[in-house]
């Protein structure tokens, strides 16, 4: 990154700046790229409905990903920062999962699930 782009706050678009599991579409991908089924999930790690979805379906999705049946495309969002009592939990959780996707891709799905297992309630600082 050159000094001009650093000063302007822009983010380089080249692949060297994306997490290892990130796609050009902006998702974090888990599973066999050749899997017949692609499951796209848009989520906020503070969203109670996202948490319900994960609790109801997460283990089965993870099993299908491990079996090579499904390729999971996660799109972490931060639409609930405003209800995290100033802690910006949604952004911090999305950044954390992107870091794990980059630095420890084999732990990505487990970390994703752990974020929902420890999901804070809306309106809390965590």
Give the separation between CA 77 and CA 62, rounded to whole angstroms: 20
DSSP-derived secondary structure letter, 30: E
Assigned domain for 88 exists: yes
Q: How confident is the model at residue 3 (pLDDT cuts 50, 70, 90)?
A: very low
Q: For position 15, what pLDDT does the model report?
A: 52
**Which CA distances in Å does 88 have to 50, 76, 81, 95, 118?**
17, 14, 5, 11, 16
Given this model, what pLDDT does residue 1 score? 38
Task: Evaluate whether residue 1 is within a structural domain.
Answer: no
Q: Identify whether 12 is part of a domain.
A: no
pTM, 2 dp: 0.82
Number of domains in the chain: 1
21 is a domain residue = no
Distance CA 81, CA 10 (A): 21
Higher pLDDT, 95 or 13: 95
Cα–Cα distance measured from residue 88 to residue 5, given in angstroms and rounded to the nearest whole number: 25
Residue 111 has a pLDDT of 97
| DSSP letter (8 states) at residue 35 | -
Q: Considering only residues 18 and 96, tell me which one the structure prediction assigns the higher pLDDT.
A: 96
Domain assignment of residue 71, given as a range: 27-117
Q: Is residue 40 part of a domain?
A: yes
Averaged confidence pLDDT in the chain: 87
As a three-state string, the secondary structure of 38-107 is: EEEEEECCCCHHHHHHHHHHHHHHHHHHHHCCEEEEEEECCCCHHHCCCCCHHHHHHHHHHHHHHHCHHH
pLDDT in the model for residue 14: 56
- Give the CATH number of the domain where residue 81 resides: 3.40.30.10
């Amino acid at each position: 990154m050159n000094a001009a782009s650093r000063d302007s706050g822009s983010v380089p678009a080249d692949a060297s700046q994306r997490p290892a599991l990130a796609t050009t579409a902006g998702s974090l991908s888990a599973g066999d790229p050749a899997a017949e089924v692609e499951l796209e999930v848009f989520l906020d790690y503070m969203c109670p409905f996202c948490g319900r979805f994960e609790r109801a379906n997460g283990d089965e999705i993870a099993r299908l990903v491990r079996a090579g049946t499904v390729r999971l495309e996660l799109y972490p969002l931060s639409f609930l920062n405003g209800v995290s009592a100033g802690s910006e939990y949604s952004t911090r959780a999305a950044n954390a999962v992107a870091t794990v996707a980059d630095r420890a891709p084999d732990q990505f799905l487990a970390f994703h699930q752990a974020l929902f297992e420890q999901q804070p309630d809306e309106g809390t600082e965590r």
